[in-house]
Amino acid sequence: MLALRLSRALPRALPSPLSQQHRALHASSPAPSARPIEQVTIFGAGLMGAGIAQVAAASGLKVTMTDVSDGALENGRNIITKSLTRIARKKSPDDAAAQRSFVDSVFANLSTTTSAPDAVSSADLVIEAIVEHLGTKQELFRRLDDVAPKEAIFASNTSSLSIKRIGETCSDARRKRFAGFHAFNPVPQMKLVEVISTDQTLPEVTTALLDLCKRMKKVPVQCSDTPGFIVNRLLVPYLLEAIRMVERGEATPEDIDTAMKLGAGVPMADPIHVAQFVGLDTLSHIASGWRAERVSTGEIDAKQVEEVALLEKLVGEGHKGRKSGKGLFDCEWRSHGRLLPGGAVRPSEGREGSLPESLTH
């Protein structure tokens, strides 16, 4: 699943502002070892940041979670508390004391602060899980580069942005210790983590992140810094094409989902449901970003992320899927008509596959 975005500004108390695939991914000899990661700092206390913090703390790591305000941090702690309480009840359904002990044991490894310099002062690894905006991420890492230990690894939890671009504002030395750590939502349940190396990332940094994933009981996969990495590189064009099928009037959203679930044999292969869960606005934002920055570089083919008029119309009208309560399932279907939001149906006109007039305005 695409990582959820945390709409936060940079944390306060920061100092004032003053592709070739990595060969280590397929090296036959073992990568050099790095010192074990024990102290982890998470920037962002939303769903993703809190989820990563929870799993890391439950794995025995010392975790510092930081955000822009005490209110944001309290929200993050509440997210973790609710998640841990559910787990504790499953582990010890008839033992309230054991449940409390389990929750307390995880929080014993977790501290919070709004001071970014304090948060990174002894960090072995810094993971950002803030708003999915290139400039904001770059500014955060630029400032942290001056105050974090020189040995600290920097990692982004971005689901769609270029890892190398995010790290451009860091020093040359830090860029060698910069990578992607893309966990999936909800982090406590989802087993996968994509570990992304740029052409500058040191092999020992990749090895350290892979070892960390295993300690956190996650399944890591390695990828170079390609658009969307592995999952979203395959998923985003797939979701867009499913929406194009609805737009062209070739099948209903329900039938597309049923066909892929039963025909492909994968429980979460239903593309319309997944697109609505992810957010139609998020899908549109990712595709737009790739069209603007990754097509001209030859990293991805233009046809794979071509604009979908129906998607943009729905997003423009505030129909974003699950988060807004309306989306592609609110389009009506007629066997000899075209789909329009809100139930209107226009008979097919012109050449096969042409858009209804109202979708082009």
User: Is residue 44 part of an annotated ligand binding site?
Assistant: yes
Q: For this structure, is 232 an active site residue?
A: yes
Q: Which of 22, 182, 273, 319 is catalytic?
A: 182
User: Is residue 159 part of an annotated ligand binding site?
Assistant: yes
Q: For this structure, is 159 an active site residue?
A: yes
Please give the structure tokens belonging to residue 329.
């399932």
Q: For this structure, is 324 an active site residue?
A: no
DSSP letter (8 states) at residue 260: H
DSSP reduced 3-state for 273? helix
Q: For this structure, is 194 an active site residue?
A: yes
User: Is residue 46 part of an annotated ligand binding site?
Assistant: yes
Q: Which of 128, 156, 157, 159 is catalytic?
A: 159
DSSP string, 281-320: HHHHHHHHHHHHHTTTTTSS-GGGG---HHHHHHHHTT--
User: Is residue 323 part of an annotated ligand binding site?
Assistant: yes
User: Is residue 1 part of an annotated ligand binding site?
Assistant: no
User: Is residue 49 part of an annotated ligand binding site?
Assistant: yes
Q: Which of 128, 194, 247, 284 is catalytic?
A: 194
Q: Which of 157, 232, 247, 273 is catalytic?
A: 232
Q: How many CB atoms lie within 10 A of CB 108?
A: 10
User: Is residue 67 part of an annotated ligand binding site?
Assistant: yes
Contacts of 317 (CB under 8 A, 6+ apart): 341
User: Is residue 83 part of an annotated ligand binding site?
Assistant: yes
DSSP letter (8 states) at residue 122: T
DSSP string, 20-74: PPPGGGG-SSPPPP-PPP-EEEEE--SHHHHHHHHHHHHTT-EEEEE-SSHHHHH
List the binding residues for NAD(+). 44-49, 67, 132, 137, 159, 185, 323
List the binding residues. 44-49, 67, 83, 90, 132, 137, 159, 185, 323
Catalytic residues: 159, 182, 194, 232
List the binding residues for CoA. 83, 90, 159
